[in-house]
Amino acid sequence: MFCLPAEASHNIALRAMKICDGIGASGLLAANTAGKAQPKRVMGIDFPHVVGLAAGLDKNADYVDALAAMGFGFIEVGTLTPRPQPGNPKPRMFRLKTEQAIINRLGFNNKGIEQACENIGKLRNRGVLGINIGKNFDTPVQQANQDYIHCLRRAYQLADYITVNISSPNTPGLRNLQFGDEFNSLLDELKEEQARLQAQHNIYTPIAVKLAPDMTQEQIVSCCESLLSREFDGVIATNTTIDRSLVNSSPFADEAGGLSGAPLSEKSCEVLRCIKAEVGERMPIIGVGGIMSADHAQQRLAAGADLLQIYTGFIYQGPPLIEQILAGIAKNQLGKLD
């Protein structure tokens, strides 16, 4: 698989998992979570265990059943936009094998929120599902709120939680939504719409906001203050980074896009610590970004994460990483009891 172009191999791997799931052979590939999975309630949702799949791998909810069968505690699909869009020109994904990393500039390639919601409606046994939403690439930042509200309305009844992606580096101007008046305006409209939808459907669907790892401490504090004052349900730390300082020797170091994987781990964990220092127990945190081992997972939990998500680690190691993380958590908790 690693001899193929990165994006092609991703698609082939997903189709293979779907075939295995269709013929009942997923158990041959899945993580063994028996005796290791410990349920946890976060954002009012009962998660079977803390290790989930981050958004980006299953853009359109085409493979949720197959991925859930791999042993994940929850799946996040997307990022989804109001209208279908092809994303950036190929090639747009690069594996940095030596560094255990990936650079991508996919650009929210997806079939649109309508197609994804249709797919979700056909799922057999989805488990806990998050839907990650964004804006179309050609929607001006000044009109971005409309895109997020459109997606929130469409996904509200189908999602267990919704993630607002304002931190991808691959959509022009998107990260500007993390700051100042644009940020606060978006948060206000999202909370107002959430309240309206709750009253309309008698369902409360939590909303989490996904932040970038490339912010200053002052910016992180400002974001947290805004999220807390509006009583958002969670924060996800973090998206990919534009920092190349730890991969300078790679032949792909100059490729534009977001860097994920091992080089992101320390930076992402530090942002999580900063967020935890600001929000304390008032807001749950989902830790993601460079979780490549059970030790990385333990560091993220110790830093204050309530849940974990993996992506690049899953690409490089597959379902065994889920099992290793859960075994490490169980061992750590047993050690505390002793």
- Block means of pLDDT (10 residues each) for the chain, 338 residues, are 78 92 88 91 98 97 95 97 96 95 96 98 89 96 95 98 93 84 95 98 98 94 96 97 93 95 97 98 97 97 98 96 95 68
Nearest to 190 by CA among 178, 210, 207, 173: 207
Q: What is the CA radius of gyration of the chain?
A: 19
Catalytic choice (168, 222, 268, 293): 168
Considering the domain boundaries, does residue 108 fall inside one?
A: yes
Q: How many distinct structural domains can be found in the chain?
A: 1
Considering the domain boundaries, does residue 300 fall inside one?
A: yes
pLDDT value at residue 86: 97
Q: Please give the helix or strand (H or E) that residue 235 lies within, else none.
A: strand 234-237
pLDDT value at residue 125: 74
Considering the domain boundaries, does residue 124 fall inside one?
A: yes
* CA dist., res. 203 & res. 224, Å (int): 26
> Which residues make Cβ contacts (< 8 Å) with residue 167, sequence separation at least 6?
174, 175, 178, 210, 211, 212, 238, 239
Considering the domain boundaries, does residue 238 fall inside one?
A: yes
State the DSSP code for 206.
-
Q: Does the global pTM surpass 0.85?
A: yes
Q: Is there a catalytic annotation at residue 168?
A: yes
Q: The domain spanning residue 72 has which CATH number?
A: 3.20.20.70
Between the CA of residue 247 and those of 1, 8, 101, 165, 211, what are the distances in Å?
Answer: 23, 23, 9, 25, 22
Q: Are 318 and 338 in contact (CB under 8 A)?
A: no
Which two three-digit tokens encode residue 319?
């379902």
pLDDT value at residue 334: 65
Considering the domain boundaries, does residue 1 fall inside one?
A: no
Considering the domain boundaries, does residue 194 fall inside one?
A: yes
pLDDT value at residue 211: 96
> Which residues make Cβ contacts (< 8 Å) with residue 7, sequence separation at least 6?
90, 91, 92, 93, 106
Considering the domain boundaries, does residue 153 fall inside one?
A: yes
* CA dist., res. 281 & res. 279, Å (int): 6
Please report, as a single letter, which amino acid is at residue 70.
Answer: M
Q: Which domain holds residue 91?
A: 6-337
Considering the domain boundaries, does residue 91 fall inside one?
A: yes
pLDDT value at residue 176: 84
